[in-house]
C-alpha cells in the first residue's frame, strides 16, 4: 500500500504543504504547513493551515505527525498552531541538525541563554536513517544537509518529500548560502537521494513556475537524474559547487527570512508576549 498524498500550494511563498495518509488506517502526517503572515501589517492568520485541517476532517484522518523538512527561511510554520489548537497528540518533528540552526541564529536574534539550542522546542529530532511509521506505512529519514544543516528528506512508502534539496527538474536546487549551508554538502546529499529507485515519487517543498509554466509539485527520482538543471547525471561536485556559489551570489535574501527563522527555530511558536501582552519580532540590523 502506498500513501495518498494531497498537495496544498501557498501562492504567497511558492510553498507546497502536504497531507500524507495511510489509506489502510486513515493515519496521516502533515508536511511543512504554512502560517500565513502579512509582513506589511505584522498580522498572522491561518487560512492555509485551515485548508489542511479541512482536508484532514473531510477524509476522517488521524494526524500522527507534523513533519518539518527544515527550518524554513521563506515562510512561517503552522506546525505549532496545528499541534496546540488541533492535534495535541501529534509529534512535531524536524532533523537533529536544528540544533546547529538554533546555535547559528540565537546570537543573531540575541535570544539569550534561556533560549534552548538543544531542539527541545520540538517533540522529536530525527537522526539520519531513522525509521518511523504512519499507520501501516513505513517511513524513513534521509538527512539531506546542504541547503541548511537541518534539512531532511522523508521517504514515506514510495513518496519522497525533499524539502528544498531538490526542486522540480526545471527549478534545480535551493540556495546554500544561509548560515550552515554548503553547496558541496548539498551535492552529496542529493547523490544519496539519487540512489533511490527511479520510480520513487518526489514531492518538492517549493515551485515558482519557472518560465511562466503552471506550478507543479510532483516528479520522480528518474526525472531528476535525467533532467534536473543543476544536478542531473553527469554534473560533478565541482561543477555544481561553482554553479551554486555563482548563482547564490546574485540572490537577495528571502522577503520573510527574519520573521520566518525566528519563529521556525521555535518550532513555529510565536515569541512570548511582552508585558503589554503584544508579541514582537526582531529585525537585527546589518547581521545577515
Binding string, residues 132-151; x marks residues near Fe ion by CB under 5 A: --------------------
Instruction: Give the interface segment with Fe ion, choosing from 119-127, 163-171, 257-265, 272-280 (CB under 5 A).
Output: 163-171
Question: Least CB distance from residue 213 to Fe ion, whole Å?
Answer: 21
Q: Per rule CB under 5 A, is residue 164 in the interface with Fe ion?
A: yes
Beta bridge partners of 16: 9
The pattern of x and - marking residues 197 through 226 that bind Fe ion according to CB under 5 A reads ------------------------------
| Nearest distance, CB of residue 124 and Fe ion, angstroms | 20
Q: Closest approach of Cβ 112 to Fe ion, in Å? A: 26
Residue 100 or 164: the one with the smaller Cβ distance to Fe ion is 164
Min dist CB 13 to Fe ion, Å, is 10
| Range 229-234, long-range pairs (CB < 8 A, 24+ positions) | 229/169, 229/170, 229/171, 229/172, 230/172, 230/173, 231/166, 231/172, 231/173, 231/187, 231/190, 232/169
**Looking up cell 519563529, which residue turns up?**
263
Q: How many residues bind Fe ion (CB under 5 A)?
A: 2
Q: Closest separation between CB of residue 73 and Fe ion, Å?
A: 5
Segment interacting with Fe ion (CB under 5 A) among 69-77, 98-106, 123-131, 137-145: 69-77
**Which residue has its beta carbon closest to Fe ion?**
164
Sign of CA dihedral 30, 36, 39, 44: negative
Select 22 or 164, whichever has its Cβ closest to Fe ion: 164
Count how many residues are written for the chain: 288
- 87 or 105: whose CB is closer to Fe ion? 105
**C-alpha distance from residue 127 to each of 93, 95, 148, 221 (Å):** 11, 6, 15, 23
Distance CA 201, CA 221 (A): 7
Q: Check if the beta carbon of residue 68 is closer than 8 Å to that of residue 261.
A: no
State which residue, 64 or 175, has the beta carbon closest to Fe ion.
Answer: 175
Decide whether 22 or 150 has the Cβ nearer to Fe ion: 150
Cell 555544481 found at: 240
Q: For the CB of residue 1, give the shortest distance to Fe ion in the complex, in Å.
A: 30
Q: Would you call 100 helix, strand, or coil by DSSP?
A: helix
Residue among 72 and 201 whose Cβ is closer to Fe ion: 72
Binding part of the chain for Fe ion, among 72-80, 97-105, 215-223, 245-253 by CB under 5 A, reads: 72-80
User: Between residues 72 and 244, which has the closer beta carbon with respect to Fe ion?
Assistant: 72
Beta-carbon neighbour count of residue 287 at 10 Å? 11
DSSP string of 183-224, one letter each residue = HHHHHHHHHHHTTS-TT-EEE-SB---GGGPPP--EEEHHHH
Residue 232's contacts (CB-CB under 8 Å, 6 or more residues apart) are 169, 224, 225, 226
- Interface residues toward Fe ion, by CB under 5 A: 72, 164
Amino acid at each position: 500500500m502506498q500513501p495518498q498524498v494531497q498537495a496544498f500550494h501557498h501562492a504567497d511563498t511558492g510553498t507546497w504543504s502536504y497531507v500524507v495518509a495511510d489509506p489502510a488506517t486513515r493515519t496521516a502526517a502533515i508536511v511543512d504547513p504554512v502560517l500565513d503572515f502579512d509582513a506589511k501589517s505584522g498580522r498572522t492568520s491561518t487560512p492555509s493551515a485551515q485548508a489542511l485541517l479541512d482536508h484532514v476532517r473531510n477524509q476522517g484522518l488521524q494526524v500522527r505527525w507534523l513533519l518539518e523538512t527544515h527550518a524554513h527561511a521563506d515562510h512561517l510554520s503552522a506546525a505549532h498552531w496545528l499541534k496546540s489548537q488541533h492535534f495535541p497528540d501529534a509529534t512535531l518533528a524536524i532533523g537533529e541538525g536544528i540544533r546547529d540552526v538554533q546555535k547559528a541564529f540565537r546570537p543573531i536574534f540575541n535570544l539569550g541563554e534561556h533560549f534552548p539550542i538543544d531542539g527541545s522546542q520540538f517533540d522529536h529530532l530525527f537522526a539520519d536513517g531513522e525509521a518511523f511509521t504512519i499507520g501501516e506505512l513505513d517511513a524513513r529519514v534521509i538527512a539531506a544537509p546542504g541547503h541548511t544543516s537541518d534539512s531532511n528528506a522523508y521517504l514515506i512508502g514510495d513518496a519522497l518529500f525533499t524539502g528544498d534539496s531538490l526542486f522540480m527538474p526545471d527549478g534545480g536546487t535551493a540556495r546554500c548560502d544561509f548560515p550552515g549551508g554548503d553547496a558541496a554538502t548539498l551535492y552529496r546529499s542529493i547523490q544519496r537521494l539519487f540512489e533511490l529507485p527511479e520510480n520513487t515519487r518526489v514531492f518538492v517543498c517549493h515551485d515558482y513556475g519557472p518560465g511562466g509554466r503552471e506550478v507543479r509539485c510532483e516528479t520522480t527520482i528518474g526525472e531528476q537524474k535525467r533532467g534536473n538543471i543543476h544536478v542531473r547525471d553527469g554534473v560533478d561536485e565541482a561543477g555544481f559547487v561553482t554553479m551554486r556559489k555563482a548563482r547564490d551570489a546574485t540572490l537577495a535574501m528571502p522577503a520573510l527570512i527574519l520573521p520566518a527563522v525566528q519563529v521556525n527555530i521555535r518550532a513555529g511558536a510565536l515569541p512570548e508576549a511582552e508585558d503589554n501582552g503584544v508579541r514582537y519580532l526582531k529585525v537585527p540590523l546589518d547581521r545577515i
